[in-house]
């Protein structure tokens, strides 16, 4: 890596959007949770909204949340 390339790389790390990206917590929903979610009669936007809610819950709470949604159908 040349000095010029190194300076570009270091500058990249200082970009605010890059900092925000690396500060985010990424959660992957378990496969069975995703399947259950997709089986619900929800719009794409509703599924997206529910995914956002589920991402911050422990797995057991995700299951409880989906149980309630399934009961309401």
Domain regions of the chain by residue span:
3-72
pLDDT, position 73: 76
pLDDT, position 16: 79
Q: Are 27 and 56 in contact (CB under 8 A)?
A: yes
Task: Report how far residue 31's alpha carbon sits from residue 41's, in angstroms, rounded to the nearest whole number.
Answer: 18
pTM over 0.75: no
pLDDT one-digit tens code per residue, 35-70: 999 999 999 999 999 998 898 888 999 999 999 999
pLDDT, position 17: 79
Q: Are 73 and 40 in contact (CB under 8 A)?
A: yes
How many CB atoms lie under 10 A from the CB of residue 66?
A: 18
């Amino acid at each position: 890596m040349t000095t010029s390339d190194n300076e570009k790389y270091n500058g990249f790390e200082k970009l605010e959007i890059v900092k925000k990206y690396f500060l985010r917590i990424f959660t992957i929903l378990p496969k069975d949770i995703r399947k259950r979610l997709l089986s619900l009669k929800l719009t794409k936007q509703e599924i997206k909204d529910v995914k956002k809610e589920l991402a911050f819950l422990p797995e057991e709470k995700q299951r409880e949340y989906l149980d309630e949604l399934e009961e309401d159908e």
